[in-house]
Amino acid sequence: MEATTRPAIEAIGLKKSYHDPKRGRVDAVRGINLRIMPGEIFGLLGQNGAGKTSTLRMLATILPPSEGTARIDGIDVVQDPIEVRRRLGFLSGSTGLYPRLTPRETLQHFGVLHGIAPDRLAARIDELLGVFDMRAWADGRCEALSTGQRQKVSIARALLHDPAVLILDEPTTGLDVLATSAMIEFIESRRAAGTCVLFSTHVLSEAERLCDRIGIIHQGQVLACGTKEELRAQTGATWLEDVFKRIVLGGATA
Amino acid sequence: MYSQPKPFRVVLRIAWMELLSSVRDRMTVLYAIVLPLVLYPVLLFLAVQVYLLVRGREQHTEVRLGVMAPSEQVQQVGTRGSPTEGVLQALSMRTPDQWLPDTTPTTVAPSTVDAVRIVEVRGGTPDDARVWLSQTKELDAVLWLGSATAADTELIYDSTSERGDLAARRIQPRLNTQAENLRFVTAQRNNVPPARMDAVADGGRRDLSPNESKAAFLMSFLLPMLLVFMTLSGAFYPAIDVTAGERERGTHDTTLLLPVDRATVLQGKILAVAALAMTATLLNVLALGLSVGHLLTMLKGGGANIDFDVPWTAFAAITPLALLFAFFVAATLMVFASQAKTFKEGQAALGPLQLLFYLPAMAGAMPGLVLTKTLACVPVLNVVLAFRDLLKGRWAPVEYSLVAISLLVFALLAVRGATWFLQREQEGRPLFVGFGRKSA
């Protein structure tokens, strides 16, 4: 029973402050609350510098929160970050591939450190190589791969341990049309697999197509959160672009 | 959910991945493997070639000598058996039985190799000889023959002039040979064994140290310093590569996502860097040994009196200390390299740090400095002095153990320090904010 009612991602009053040598104290995230359920696809929409990446990095245990707390699959990100990482798949522009390893070695490395048994790991790697059509170039170095191929390896790396939660930070940035399309199809496929997906974007069409719910983040705060219909009803706008503008420019708080 | 791997297995796995990655990097291979292997053979080859070139040029450079003596001695030139003629003959490197009665002062050079051409024989005083050399550009040296005995000679030359220096180096041994000949003849005349006269002439010096000890003594200055330099050289590039290099390549966050303790990840990286440092050191010592061995073989072939074996016992005894030292170096370098954002920043940070290792390493070569219980606790200097003692065959178990304990403690402190820096950074409080990152 608990598994169905417990949120896959939960953030309560999450804050992040930096000290910048030039600007002094910078409040990147100013008290974010989120509650995302298993099997849900949640989009975090915001302009550049709105605090999306900092929020996702805190949830992925890459950054420690300055204040507040967050839980992934019921595990506190500060209390037990290792267990959080075992239940999480994270993908962003900053999670590059080890250039001198091959895709197969990369998956092997992550699989071993996730504690996957050797025979099971071999089968899982083979499965992922097949699913993402990577077999032909699985033994070449990652530094020699195209952007699209690298993206496939990164996705395979994030899915290797079959995580309950996927966090994707602007997953289509820098991708060409075909690779973007493949990424969108991949995110959609996760819904069917029952995985909770939280992704950030500033591409409204992606959010429109993929998201069950959308959170609009601005200056480190979530100004609005709900389904597309709820947001339209809240703002009176039809197009998501207008919804976004009215919320951000109007400063409405969820 | 999968079972969590044991920390030791994680360390090994991380180290393996870093090593695999490093040996596929051309720069790391260059600094940690190729350079240590080829440095000494190439240096030796170049040194031999340069020596041969310089020696060849010297051999084919004719030295121009003026001879000055009291006027009455000048008259003896050309008279067989006269001391003056004897000296002049000696300059031609001929044995007495080869002396020719009709030899004239201007034909003493037997060939164009190592030639000494006597430009002129003049009568005069020692002061005249000095003035003659300083005023005549065509002369490289002047030989003053003070009396009727060949031992009473003075070679006047200018050591700051290349030709003058060459003249001195070429003429002096020939004068020594002539003095030897005269001693021999005198000894025979007086019915005294020539060796007895040599002993009187040389002051009775006798060196009791065997040749292998002399070689070990020389090695004891060179090898300990090399151990430090090569460990540093082997660790330098990988330490930056696995820290700042990782940030630059955009894989830092990927590593942070590994579901393991980050201190364990760091320890795996330190292990990889230490392994590369040790590899560089061992390859370097091997290449040095082979190069020196080849050189010794060449010298022995040329008739040199050399008797030296590679001190394998000392190498075996220093290996555990070298391992601990490599860990210490790897962890220390990574403390600083991990604060850098880019490879360039890493190089800038580690450059000055290297001096902290070089200075005690060079201090370890100071004459009279020996390994004491106090010095055994001074990092870098302790490993240098311990290796020096071992090469000289001195075995001090207490000091040696202290060095091992001290290196272990310093290595652990360095690992702990690196972990502490890492934790600070992950908490958003990097020590060096000026390196470009933000702190909370």
The token duo for B411 is 């290595």
Smallest CA–CA distance, residue A186 to chain B, in Å, is 20
Q: Which residues from chain A sit within 8 angstroms of residue B438, using beta carbons? A: 18-21, 26
Does A101 sit within 8 Å of B20, measured CB to CB? yes
For residues B323 and B373, membership in a common domain is answered with: yes
- Check if the beta carbon of residue A171 is closer than 8 Å to that of residue A200: no
For residue B351, give the nearest of B262, B237, B224 by alpha carbon: B237
Is B54 a member of any domain? Answer: no
- Model confidence pLDDT, tens digit, residues A5-48: 789 999 999 999 988 778 888 889 999 999 999 999 999 999 88
Say whether residue B4 is in contact with chain A using an 8 A CB cutoff. Answer: yes
Confidence (pLDDT) at B102: 42
Does A101 sit within 8 Å of B3, measured CB to CB? no
Is B52 a member of any domain? Answer: no
Higher pLDDT, A175 or B311: A175
For residues B182 and B234, membership in a common domain is answered with: no
Is B114 a member of any domain? Answer: yes
The percentage of residues in chain A with a pLDDT greater than 90, rounded to a whole number, is 60
Q: Which residues from chain A sit within 8 angstroms of residue B440, using beta carbons? A: 16-19, 64, 66
Ramachandran area for residue A22 (φ above 0: left; ψ -120 to 50: alpha; else beta): alpha
The pLDDT tens digits along chain B (440 residues) read: 677 888 899 999 999 999 999 889 888 888 788 888 888 788 888 888 888 888 888 888 888 888 888 887 777 766 666 667 767 766 664 444 433 344 444 444 444 567 788 888 888 888 888 889 888 888 899 988 876 555 577 888 988 888 888 888 888 888 777 777 777 777 888 887 776 665 444 544 555 666 666 666 767 777 788 888 888 988 998 999 998 898 888 898 899 999 999 889 988 999 999 999 888 888 877 787 777 777 777 766 666 666 666 667 777 888 888 888 988 999 899 888 888 888 888 888 888 888 889 888 888 877 778 889 999 999 899 989 988 888 877 888 899 899 999 988 988 888 888 888 777 776 665 555 444 444 44
For residues B91 and B139, membership in a common domain is answered with: yes
- Model confidence pLDDT, tens digit, residues B141-178: 998 887 655 557 788 898 888 888 888 888 888 877 77
Is B1 a member of any domain? Answer: no
Confidence (pLDDT) at A30: 92
Is B327 a member of any domain? Answer: yes
For residues B99 and B160, membership in a common domain is answered with: yes
Report d(CA A29, CA A52) in Å as an integer: 8
Confidence (pLDDT) at B216: 65
E strands of chain A, at which residues?
A: 9-20, 24-36, 41-45, 67-72, 75-76, 88-91, 165-169, 196-201, 213-218, 221-226
The whole-number average pLDDT for the span A159-180 is: 87
Confidence (pLDDT) at B69: 83
Say whether residue A168 is in contact with chain B using an 8 A CB cutoff. Answer: no
Confidence (pLDDT) at B78: 65
Find the residue in B nearest to A120 (Cα). Answer: B2
For residues B363 and B401, membership in a common domain is answered with: yes
Is B2 a member of any domain? Answer: no
Does B249 sit within 8 Å of A96, measured CB to CB? yes
Confidence (pLDDT) at B113: 62
Helix ranges (DSSP H) in B145-210? 162-189, 194-202
The token duo for A14 is 């999450």
Which helix (H) or strand (E) is A125 found in, with range?
Answer: helix A118-131
Which residue segment(s) compose the domain that B154 sits in? 59-202
For residues B315 and B426, membership in a common domain is answered with: yes
Confidence (pLDDT) at B212: 60
For residues B188 and B315, membership in a common domain is answered with: no
Report d(CA A70, CA B109) in Å as an integer: 96
For residues B98 and B34, membership in a common domain is answered with: no
Which helix (H) or strand (E) is B156 found in, with range?
Answer: strand B153-157
pLDDT bucket at A57, cuts 50 / 70 / 90 = very high
The label of the residue with tokens 């989120």 reads: A34
Report d(CA A97, CA A111) in Å as an integer: 15
Neighbours of B272 (CB within 10 A): 26
Does B440 sit within 8 Å of A16, measured CB to CB? yes
For residues B226 and B276, membership in a common domain is answered with: yes
Which of A27, A98, A124, A142 is best to mutate for the B interface (most B CBs within 10 A)?
A98
Residue A235 per-residue DSSP state: H
Residue B439 per-residue DSSP state: B
Say how many CA atoms lie within 13 Å of B223 toward its Cβ: 29
Say how many CA atoms lie within 13 Å of B385 toward its Cβ: 28
Identify which of B250, B258, B438 has the shortest CB distance to residue A96: B250
Smallest CA–CA distance, residue A250 to chain B, in Å, is 30
Confidence (pLDDT) at B93: 44
| Domain stop point among B202, B227, B251 | B202
Residues 86-115 of B with CB under 8 A from A: none
Which residues make beta-bridge pairs with A70? A11
Is B181 a member of any domain? Answer: yes
| Domain stop point among B140, B173, B202 | B202
Q: Which long-range contacts (CB under 8 A, 24 or more apart) does B357-360 make?
A: B357/B228, B357/B232, B357/B329, B358/B228, B358/B229, B358/B232, B360/B228, B360/B384
- Check if the beta carbon of residue B166 is closer than 8 Å to that of residue B155: no
Report d(CA B371, CA B53) in Å as an integer: 43
φ, ψ of residue A71 to 5 degrees: the values are -130, 140
Q: Which domains does chain A have, with CATH numbers?
A: 2-94+163-250 (3.40.50.300)
Report d(CA B157, CA B96) in Å as an integer: 27
- Model confidence pLDDT, tens digit, residues A76-88: 999 999 999 999 9
Residue A253 per-residue DSSP state: -
Q: Which residues from chain B sit within 8 angstroms of residue A157, using beta carbons? A: 254
The token duo for B321 is 């200390």
For residue A14, give the nearest of A53, A60, A68 by alpha carbon: A68
Which residues make beta-bridge pairs with A34? A11
Find the residue in B nearest to A94 (Cα). Answer: B250
Q: What is the DSSP string of A35-73?
A: EE-TT-EEEEE--TTSSHHHHHHHHTTSS--SEEEEEET
The percentage of residues in chain A with a pLDDT greater than 70, rounded to a whole number, is 97
> CATH no. for residue B105?
3.40.190
Query: ipTM higher than 0.85?
Result: yes
CA–CA distance from A146 to each of A129, A237, B24, B193 (Å)?
Answer: 16, 40, 20, 89
Residue A78 per-residue DSSP state: T
Higher pLDDT, B171 or A120: A120
Does B250 sit within 8 Å of A109, measured CB to CB? no
For residues B224 and B370, membership in a common domain is answered with: yes
Indicate the number of domains in chain B. Answer: 2
Identify which of A20, A101, A117 has the shortest CB distance to residue B21: A101
Say whether residue A97 is in contact with chain B using an 8 A CB cutoff. Answer: yes
Report d(CA A243, CA A250) in Å as an integer: 10
Q: What is the DSSP string of B262-277?
A: HHHHHHHHHHHHHHHH
Q: Which residues from chain A sit within 8 angstroms of residue B427, using beta carbons? A: 64
The label of the residue with tokens 């996705």 reads: A155
Residue pairs spanning A and B at CB distance below 8 A: 101
Report d(CA B291, CA A98) in Å as an integer: 38
| Domain stop point among B202, B237, B265 | B202
- Check if the beta carbon of residue B291 is closer than 8 Å to that of residue B44: yes
Is B191 a member of any domain? Answer: yes
For residues B218 and B335, membership in a common domain is answered with: yes
For residues B247 and B359, membership in a common domain is answered with: yes
For residue B312, give the nearest of B232, B219, B238 by alpha carbon: B219
- Check if the beta carbon of residue B132 is closer than 8 Å to that of residue B66: yes
Residues 405-434 of B with CB under 8 A from A: 426-428, 433-434
